[in-house]
Amino acid sequence: MLRLSFLLTLLIACGWSQQTQAKDIRDQVQHHYVDNDGVKIHYVSLGEGPLVVMIHGFPDFWYTWRDQMQALSKKHRVVAVDLRGFNKSDAPQGIDKYKMPTLLSDIVAVIHNEKQEKAIIIGHDWGGSISWSLAMYYPQMVEKLIICNLPHLKGIIRELKNNPKQHKNSEYARQLQEQGAKVLTMERITSWIKDSKEKEIYTEAFKRSSFEAMANYYKANYPREPYESPTFPKVKCSVLMIHGLKDWALLPGALNDTWLWLEKDLTLVTVPEAGHFVQQDASETVTKTMEMWLSR
């Protein structure tokens, strides 16, 4: 009886160990590359089903979606992209290579590489800006839209123009526009990562990345004074927004009036204790919210 008990304990321990190791998303995903006009875009995939495309922001890479990928891949084929300039994607030179139409074409290339014509799009930060723009200018390709901590562009421009606190808190973006990669260091772009092991993973990815490319996103796309808002097409699909209220870079005032710029329903979820990286700060809340909203 003692020997059987020991064997069961050993089997349970081994199973737990294997299960623990399997939780590392990097050991589960498949890696892919797609060529977009000579620029190699890297992305990873997990699961089968309707296509979900996840787009990270700055400073980040596909790994930011690790928890959400695990959950959503139970019912979907989830792909998470490395934006150009980040991690294993190419980093072409020149500000023009980072203008929004070109960034959109990278995501279109990924969707087509997956042999699909449309997808559920999920974006954070710059990935959120790309996601909003994709929904506005390629509406036929966006089935549903999920945005994490990136208000609609009209809201951001309005707050930059009229909200002194938002204008002040966006000084970092103006520094990147004016000084470029000079203001970026490894210490600065990893300062938000609390866990030491996660910081090692990010540091490794950022060593493969281009600081100049990171700055080019701001040079090519971030609003400039006098902050006049262009006319944007209305978003035609259903939208879920999840916003960490402790985000100092993108204040929640920009969320107001979002419903005016949409043709369909908006679900807005605010998370009081989460910051800019809401998908990590409030991982469980974000994941469950996405699952529930997508299963409606």
Model pLDDT for residues 81-104, shown as the tens digit of each residue: 999 999 999 999 999 999 999 999
Q: Is 52 helix (H, G, I), strand (E, B) or coil?
A: strand
The confidence score (pLDDT) of residue 21 equals 38
* pLDDT at residue 18 greater than cutoff 70: no
- Give the Cα separation of 197 and 212 in Å (integer): 26
Q: Look-up: residue for tokens 């699952």?
A: 291
The pLDDT assigned to 63 comes to 98
Q: Which CATH class is domain 26-294?
A: alpha beta
Q: Contact at 8 Å (CB) between 193 and 272?
A: no
Of residues 283 and 21, which shows the higher confidence score?
283
- Residue 186 has a pLDDT of 98
Q: Is residue 266 classed exposed, middle or buried when 0-12, 13-18 and 19+ CB atoms within 10 A define those classes?
A: middle
Q: Which pLDDT does position 1 carry in this prediction?
A: 47
Element (H, E) at 5: helix 2-22
- Segment 200-227 shows an average pLDDT of 98
Query: Per-residue confidence at 143, pLDDT binned at 50, 70, 90?
Result: very high
Strands (E), 37-130: 39-46, 51-55, 77-81, 119-124
**Whole-number pLDDT of residue 243:** 98
Question: What pLDDT score does 232 carry?
Answer: 97
Gap between the Cα atoms of 194 and 164, Å rounded = 30
The domain segmentation of the chain, as residue ranges, is: 26-294
User: pLDDT at position 5, please?
Assistant: 45
DSSP state of 82: -
Checking if the pLDDT of 20 tops 60, the result is no
Span 154-168, mean pLDDT?
98
Q: Could you tell me if 212 and 181 are in contact, meaning their C-beta atoms sit under 8 angstroms apart? A: yes
Under the banding of pLDDT at 50, 70 and 90, the label for residue 14 is very low
Long-range contacts of 259-264 (CB under 8 A, 24+ apart): 261/152, 261/154, 261/232, 261/234, 261/235, 262/234, 262/235, 263/234, 263/235, 263/236, 264/235, 264/236, 264/237, 264/238, 264/239
Percent of the chain with pLDDT over 90: 92
Q: What percent of the chain has pLDDT over 70?
A: 93
Interval 12-29 mean pLDDT:
62
Task: Please report which residue ranges of 138-263 form alpha helices under DSSP H.
Answer: 153-162, 164-169, 171-179, 186-189, 196-207, 211-221
- Is a pLDDT exceeding 90 seen at residue 124? yes
Name the pairing type of β-strands 266-271 and 239-244: parallel
For tokens 């279109």, what's the residue? 108
Residues 6+ apart with CB under 8 A from 294: 72, 75, 76, 120, 144
Does residue 145 register a pLDDT over 70? Answer: yes
Question: Residue 23: its pLDDT value, please?
Answer: 76
